[in-house]
Chain A
């Protein structure tokens, strides 16, 4: 659905481009052997190279290059066999070298595509402009001391991929879906863990507005370092509204860097002076250009895992799932694998239902993700099997599932332990039916007199008498035979 802002001068559309910084999943940093684990004590993961000691030299981590190529392939992008690391020069206390090693004129990955599945069932193709590799800076801590700032260099030198979209996004919702989709692809590839709360993924958001039909883009503002999907969407919303107001007041939007303040739900200009950098990029003379051979790229391509788009198609084709269910199940790699384990050799639609309603519901309520699920795929499969062979009814199955979620026990054991096995012995059910009819002659007469609704009451009584274990179809049939036959 088109996202338009109603202004006094007419409708406005919003034009959004994202620069997503994704931390490459790797044991070591981009140019040093230091570890990259999150949450370590400050300055414990810093090598001589990271601290920019005199005479120290960067040596590229080949695994990071592989990860970037893999990501490029996952974004259906062109891989540039020749790429160059350059120095981006600026002074800051958490940038020990006084420059960031980044790629500028010759990035490792060129143009690609990400397909968005919108909740309304439509899909959108978003262009990727480029992907380049760069080092992260350290962290300045201004809240440790009233007068001094402290520096933690643990992050300094960690490998980031900057993934730049084309300005193809047209609503906060699309931006949100884009980031989620990108994160999903990166997680499938294993090239970034996508943990935004740990800073593994963050985005710079470029926003401009224009009247529909205008062919040129108007001046954009860049909102720096937004670190959650929700904030990205909110930031776009408030920034677009601000720009519409600005234009409509007869003012100009200026090209600048802004910060999003989620507490006040507004964006604020960062002082221009501080960020009026001339970065003086030039090729890093300490590093050779990265020249890959096609065989290296082909090797990575051949080992790519199935990605969400392909998996979704397969789920629809092989399992007969709806596009919506398939989309939900493939969004997360672990969920998709869990589903496939449950669905294998079983009723796939039923498996999808149990996952999306019962399991997701329980996990949500417990604040857990699929990896922490107390119910394994094998156990959920067994539960479906118990229903399929009529060992238990669907209603009992829900109780069993609750117990499984509580205790992680196998469903068979729970059914056994609690004696929940469905009664399918005609004699036993008949005895129960006869008992209930005999105990309630008045109601029996009503049924015989033609009140079919009262049969339901009898079914309930029989189920109650058998603690829910009687096969409901059989109870129904027997009651009809006996009262109306």
Chain B
């Protein structure tokens, strides 16, 4: 019999409901898979005791006839950017050494309330700054997929541990955050479904901030249906986050009707890049064809300001980050490296506490906000952002969703692109525009490249229209029939 950790979230839900197995049994298999997969460096903190305790509580609820719904008893991994009460929370940074928050983030609390069972806190790029999970103080995460020559690959980033845990069948779902593509790009590189909802759909309260106007939480799962189930449990208005939207959370799973007849799918011509691998272009064309065959209407569209999205993003995000990270000063929590004066203590603490990529972005952000540069960089970037937003608005008058590649490449070897930050930043070229405009986007595994590595396609939808996004993503998923599995599965190397 297959291990329970191999089940999809919906299968696990149905099995729990049918009494085929208990939440404790499910959790034990996932814990075993987590421990077996330690070579992948997925978790910064494993919390098997919490998992067992919550699983037992779930079983008790179910026995009493009071199960909380689809997520009750489902094991999940939580990106270590979400503050979890009493559990070490690091943002993969040395500077948060020993930080045990006395509070639980709203999203992870929502998941607890829904009955989800936390296995542990997953590795990530330091403060979510990276596209390869190479900047973590706790070391890189290995992609469960391996290169043609057997070389270790990056899982993408920044949510590297969360995505790889789902790809490696450690658990059926995990949480991520997406500031410029940190859910969708790794989902593409690891062959799982990852989505960023509309900005404001999930509360940011209790999530270590990277760039406040861009950060959004979202789920990883192995199917579109699973990600719809999990998002429902994560989302909701939170009065503690002023940017959280006071809107109802629909039943996303119910939106997956299998019917995309008449759906207008925009293909933005500017997403065709010079030098993009032919197989990605081919996959994109195939994706459009799949939707067309199911009755969708393919509409060529133009988003001319797209090319400015990435440069503008690399002004806005570091600007906000430079300010958001000012609180890590050694005064109240985390690392402190003493000095002879207050300023020296700051310099010592932050110099030792932040890694190179974080320091780079703090420097960039500080620079673009400085007197004399503010108008040329920050103000200009915000103007670009407004243009991008308006362009999307106009385009969405004519189409219901957009179809694009998720990333311009498949997973690459650990250590590649490390000498050129801009080459690394280009990994987010297709995902960043949705963050700049606050739109929901989902990556669905759609095929393999010549080396047998997964590639994703992205569906971007209108604000708060995740339902249409899920409907289109489901149609892609069914047509793609993506069944390939990574080498490391359930922690067992093939």
Report yes or no: B83 in contact with A55, Cβ–Cβ below 8 A.
Answer: yes
CB distance from A40 to the nearest CB of B (A): 19
Residues B306-359 near A (CB distance < 8 A): 319-320, 322-323, 325-327, 329, 331-333, 342-343, 346
A339-375 CB mask vs B (1 if < 8 Å, else 0) is 0000000000000000000000000000000000000
Report yes or no: A59 in contact with B242, Cβ–Cβ below 8 A.
Answer: yes
Residues A86-120 near B (CB distance < 8 A): 87, 89, 91-93, 96-99
Report yes or no: B208 in contact with A93, Cβ–Cβ below 8 A.
Answer: no
A55-B206, A151-B331 known; A89+B323 contact, CB < 8 A: yes
Quick one: closest A residue to B127, CB to CB? A54
Residues A40-88 near B (CB distance < 8 A): 48, 51-60, 87
A53-B333, A57-B204, A89-B369 known; A285+B242 contact, CB < 8 A: no
Q: Is B182 an interface residue (CB 8 A)?
A: no
Q: Is B136 an interface residue (CB 8 A)?
A: no
Interface size on A, residues (CB 8 A): 30
Report yes or no: B240 in contact with A59, Cβ–Cβ below 8 A.
Answer: yes
**Residue A286 contacts which of B101, B208, B212, B366 (CB distance < 8 angstroms)?**
B212
Residues B233-291 near A (CB distance < 8 A): 239-243
A53-B103, A53-B333, A57-B242 known; A97+B212 contact, CB < 8 A: no
Interface SS, A side? loop
**Residue B103 contacts which of A48, A58, A278 (CB distance < 8 angstroms)?**
A48
Report yes or no: B213 in contact with A54, Cβ–Cβ below 8 A.
Answer: no
Q: Is A238 an interface residue (CB 8 A)?
A: no
Q: How far is the CA of A99 from the CA of B102 in the complex (A)?
A: 23
Q: Is A288 an interface residue (CB 8 A)?
A: yes
**Residue A54 contacts which of B208, B240, B320, B331 (CB distance < 8 angstroms)?**
B208
Report yes or no: A280 in contact with B209, Cβ–Cβ below 8 A.
Answer: no
B359-382 CB mask vs A (1 if < 8 Å, else 0) is 000000010011100100010000
CB distance from B337 to the nearest CB of A (A): 15
- Tell which of B99, B319, B329, B342 has the most Cβ of chain A within 10 Å: B329
**Residue A55 contacts which of B208, B320, B342 (CB distance < 8 angstroms)?**
B208
Report yes or no: B331 in contact with A96, Cβ–Cβ below 8 A.
Answer: yes
Chain A residues in 8 Å Cβ range of B378 = 282
**Residue B240 contacts which of A52, A57, A151 (CB distance < 8 angstroms)?**
A57
Chain B residues in 8 Å Cβ range of A151 = 331
Report yes or no: A280 in contact with B242, Cβ–Cβ below 8 A.
Answer: no
Report yes or no: A98 in contact with B213, Cβ–Cβ below 8 A.
Answer: no
A54-B208, A57-B241, A57-B242 known; A96+B103 contact, CB < 8 A: no
**Residue A57 contacts which of B205, B325, B343 (CB distance < 8 angstroms)?**
B205
Chain A residues in 8 Å Cβ range of B213 = 285
Chain A residues in 8 Å Cβ range of B209 = 54-55, 286
Q: A52-B332, A57-B242 are in contact. List 13 more A-B contacts (CB 8 A).
A: A48-B103, A53-B101, A54-B83, A54-B327, A54-B333, A57-B241, A89-B322, A96-B332, A98-B325, A278-B370, A280-B366, A286-B209, A286-B243
Q: Can you list 25 contacts pairing A with B, beta carbon distance less than 8 Å?
A: A53-B103, A53-B333, A54-B89, A54-B208, A54-B327, A55-B105, A55-B207, A55-B208, A60-B242, A89-B369, A91-B326, A91-B343, A91-B346, A93-B331, A98-B323, A98-B327, A98-B329, A99-B323, A280-B322, A280-B374, A281-B374, A282-B323, A285-B212, A286-B243, A287-B242
| Pairs of residues from A and B, 4 with the lowest C-beta to C-beta distance, nearest first | A98-B326, A280-B369, A285-B212, A285-B213
